[in-house]
Amino acid sequence: MTTDDRPSDRRPVRTPSIVACPDGPILVRGDVTLVDDSGRAIPRRRSTVALCRCGASAIKPYCDGTHKAIGFTAP
Amino acid sequence: MKLPSPRGPLSRAVTEVLSSPVGGEVGDLAPLTRRALEHSVDLLADDDVQLTLYVMYELFYRGFEGVDDDWEWSPDLLAARRLIELALEQHLSDRVAVPEGVAPARAAVAEALFALTAPTPGPSVARYVAKRATLEQVRELLVQRSVYQLKEADPHTWAIPRLVGRPKAALVEIQADEYGGGDPERMHCELFARTMRGAALDAEYGAYIEQIPAVTLAGVNVMSLFGLHRRWRGATAGHLAAFEMTSSLPNRLYGDGFRRHGFGQDTTEYFDEHVEADAVHEQIAGRDLAGALVQQEPELLHDVLFGAATCLYLDEVVGEHLLSAWGAGVSSLRTA
Ligand code: FES
Ligand SMILES: [Fe+2]
Ligand SMILES: [Fe+2]
What structural domains and CATH numbers belong to chain A? Answer: 17-75 (3.40.5.90)
The pLDDT of residue B23 = 82
Cβ neighbour number for residue B211 with a 10 Å cutoff: 16
In a domain, B334, yes or no: no
In a domain, B336, yes or no: no
* Same domain? B184 vs B320: yes
* Same domain? B82 vs B133: no
Give the mean model confidence (pLDDT) for residues B10-23.
95
The number of angstroms, rounded, from the C-alpha of B250 to the middle of its chain's C-alpha atoms is 16
In a domain, B3, yes or no: no
Q: Which atom of ligand 1 is nearest to the CA of A26?
A: 1
pLDDT > 50? residue B133: yes
Per CB-CB distance under 8 Å, the chain A contacts of B177 are: 46-48
Per CB-CB distance under 8 Å, the chain A contacts of B176 are: 47
CB distance A64 to ligand 1 below 6 Å: yes
> Which value, to the nearest 10 degrees, does the dihedral of the CA atoms of residues A68, B297, B313, B282 take?
-30
In a domain, B153, yes or no: yes
> B119 C-alpha vs ligand 1 centroid, how far in Å?
14
Give just the sign of the alpha carbon dihedral B139, B141, B143, B146: negative
Helix (H, G, I), strand (E, B) or coil at A50: strand
Rounded Cα gap, residues B126 and B135, in angstroms: 14
Rounded Cα gap, residues A42 and A39, in angstroms: 9
* Residue to substitute in A51, A57, A62, A70 for testing ligand 1 pocket (most ligand atoms within 8 angstroms of CB): A57
* Same domain? B304 vs B232: yes
* Same domain? B132 vs B277: yes
Rounded Cα gap, residues B203 and B199, in angstroms: 10
Is the separation of the CB atoms in B29 and B17 below 8 Å? yes
* Same domain? B146 vs B290: yes
Rounded Cα gap, residues B45 and B22, in angstroms: 31
Is A7 in Cβ contact with B183 (below 8 Å)? yes
* Same domain? B25 vs B163: no
The pLDDT of residue A10 = 55
Is the separation of the CB atoms in B4 and B59 below 8 Å? no
* Same domain? B91 vs B114: no
Is B182 in Cβ contact with A68 (below 8 Å)? no
Listed as own residue / partner, the contacts of B194-197 with beta carbons closer than 8 Å and 24 or more positions apart are B194/B266, B194/B267, B194/B269, B194/B270, B195/B142, B195/B258, B195/B267, B195/B268, B195/B269, B195/B270, B195/B271, B196/B142, B196/B146
Listed residues B46, B72, B95: the one ending a domain: B95
Confirm or reject contact between A49 and chain B (CB < 8 A).
yes
* Contacts A–B by Cβ distance under 8 A: 68
Opening angle at CA A26, ends A20 and A29, nearest 5: 105
In a domain, B71, yes or no: yes
* Same domain? B202 vs B90: no
* Same domain? B159 vs B266: yes
In a domain, B196, yes or no: yes
Percent of chain B clearing pLDDT 90 (strictly above): 96
The pLDDT of residue B13 = 97
Tens digit of each residue's pLDDT (9 = 90 or more) over B212-237: 999 999 999 999 999 999 999 999 99
DSSP-H helix ranges across B40-153: 47-58, 75-95, 106-116, 125-131, 135-149
The pLDDT of residue B27 = 82
| Residue type (1 letter), B136 | E
Q: Report, as ranges of residue numbers, the positions in chain A whose pLDDT lies below 50.
A: 1-6
Confirm or reject contact between A35 and chain B (CB < 8 A).
no
Listed residues B61, B95, B129: the one ending a domain: B95
Rounded Cα gap, residues B28 and B38, in angstroms: 17
Overall domain count for chain B: 2
**At B43, is the pLDDT very low, low, confident or very high (cuts 50, 70, 90)?**
very high
pLDDT > 90? residue B160: yes
Q: What is the mean pLDDT of chain B?
A: 97
Tens digit of each residue's pLDDT (9 = 90 or more) over B232-278: 999 999 999 999 999 999 999 999 999 999 999 999 999 999 999 99
Which among B207, B288, B196 has a CA at the least distance from the CA of A29?
B288
Tens digit of each residue's pLDDT (9 = 90 or more) over B294-307: 999 999 999 999 99
* Same domain? B189 vs B78: no
Rounded Cα gap, residues B82 and B90, in angstroms: 12
Could you tell me the CATH number of the domain that includes residue B265? Answer: 1.20.910.10
CB distance A54 to ligand 1 below 6 Å: yes
Is the separation of the CB atoms in B152 and B189 below 8 Å? yes
Listed residues B95, B118, B138: the one ending a domain: B95
In a domain, B4, yes or no: no
* Same domain? B164 vs B26: no
- Burial code (b: 16+ CB inside 10 Å, e: under 16) for A23-50 equals ebbbbbbeeeeeeeeeeeeeebebbbbb
pLDDT > 60? residue B172: yes
> B274 C-alpha vs ligand 2 centroid, how far in Å?
6
Rounded Cα gap, residues B325 and B320, in angstroms: 8
CB distance A56 to ligand 1 below 6 Å: yes
Domain that holds residue B219: 106-327
* Same domain? B110 vs B91: no
Helix (H, G, I), strand (E, B) or coil at B333: coil
CB distance A57 to ligand 1 below 6 Å: yes
Alpha-carbon distances, residue A30 vs A10, A19, A49 (angstroms): 11, 12, 10
The pLDDT of residue A50 = 98
ipTM: 0.93
